[in-house]
Amino acid sequence: MPVVEIENLTKDFSVGFWRKRPVRALDGLNLEVHRGEIFGFLGPNGAGKSTTIKLLMHLLHPTSGDARILGEPVSKVSMHQKIGYLPENPYFYDYLTPAELLTYAGRLFGMRGAPLAKKVEGLLESVGLSHARNLQLRKFSKGMIQRIGIAQAIINDPEVVFLDEPMSGLDPLGRMEVRRIITSLKSSGVTVFFSSHILPDVEALCDRIAILNRGRLQEMGTLDQILKTRFEGHEAVLSGVTPEALDYIRKWCDEVWSMGDRLHVRIGARDNFGALIAFAFEHKLELVSVNPIRPSLEEYFQSAVGSRQPAVAAFGG
């Protein structure tokens, strides 16, 4: 059974004071998240990512459509016992310490006493905040807030966590930390659903992704599935190429350049690529490496989404 099922989810907002015009923030979203995977939710600003997550958390009421988490409707409060959530740009109570915050969160899950205290200590340790356990939260840096945010999201050992822009505003070290936490979550069997617009992270972490644009789902699937559709050929590196061989090779290749004693070629058409391989074999040229060319997620994103939104903001936080 999928961990998250979203069926035809639509959300309209009424905007305007007198004459209310409905603005469709989310349009007929269909989506499934499977157990144990890291699911990335991408899209430019205003695409509807946060709206989707808030609908899942029942912070917003859907206009139409259905959503279920762990088989239960999202309106069922008791289901929240098994999930965790980190909001976008989180903020926690100024005057509490992280230990107090985690204890508060734990109590709301029904934990108490010594087991709770132990859990709190363990969590602080695992997110690297033990040194700050008695510092009031208003003195925390953004990265520290993010980490305590994740801690409060997982204190109940949830089956699935929802992270809304967990990397936003973090420096590279901070992002690495969060990445580490996410991968360790996955290895404990937790399903992770997170939204982001930091593409390298998504590329590195996610099993499957969905791309949202202007409230509509544009693509969904594994990275390979998405990017494979835009096959652009192969790139090969050869060494020991004689100038005569080079002349031959040139006619198959779109691009040729040498680096040191190595020759890099780029071949678009499959047939040409086949010919090159056969040629290399015959003439005992050394094939150092062969790679299919696919656009980076960033490039794909830019073309898929950027083309329809000429003013799309730069990615990467």
Contact set with another protein (CB under 8 A): 13, 54, 57-61, 73, 75, 77-81, 83-96, 100, 104-105, 107-110, 149, 152-153, 156, 162
Q: How far is the CB of 69 from another protein (least distance, A)?
A: 11
The residue among 65 and 200 lying less far from another protein, judged by its C-beta, is: 65
Q: How far is the CB of 154 from another protein (least distance, A)?
A: 12
Q: How far is the CB of 95 from another protein (least distance, A)?
A: 4
Q: How far is the CB of 42 from another protein (least distance, A)?
A: 21
End-to-end CA distance of the chain: 34
Quote the tokens at residue 175.
């992002």
The residue among 169 and 240 lying less far from another protein, judged by its C-beta, is: 169
**Distance in angstroms (rounded) separating the CA atoms of residues 258 and 237:** 9
- Three-state secondary structure readout of 156-174: CCCCEEEEECCCCCCCHHH
**Distance in angstroms (rounded) separating the CA atoms of residues 214 and 226:** 19
Q: How far is the CB of 178 from another protein (least distance, A)?
A: 17
The kind and range of the H/E element at 129 are none
Quote the tokens at residue 76.
């069922």
Give the pairing type, strands 160-164 and 83-86: parallel
Give the pairing type, strands 216-222 and 208-213: antiparallel
The residue among 12 and 235 lying less far from another protein, judged by its C-beta, is: 12
The residue among 51 and 272 lying less far from another protein, judged by its C-beta, is: 51
**CA atoms lying within 13 Å on the CB side of residue 103:** 13
Could you tell me which residues are beta bridge partners of residue 267? 234
The residue among 102 and 285 lying less far from another protein, judged by its C-beta, is: 102
The residue among 93 and 231 lying less far from another protein, judged by its C-beta, is: 93
Give the pairing type, strands 38-42 and 21-33: unpaired
Q: How far is the CB of 87 from another protein (least distance, A)?
A: 4
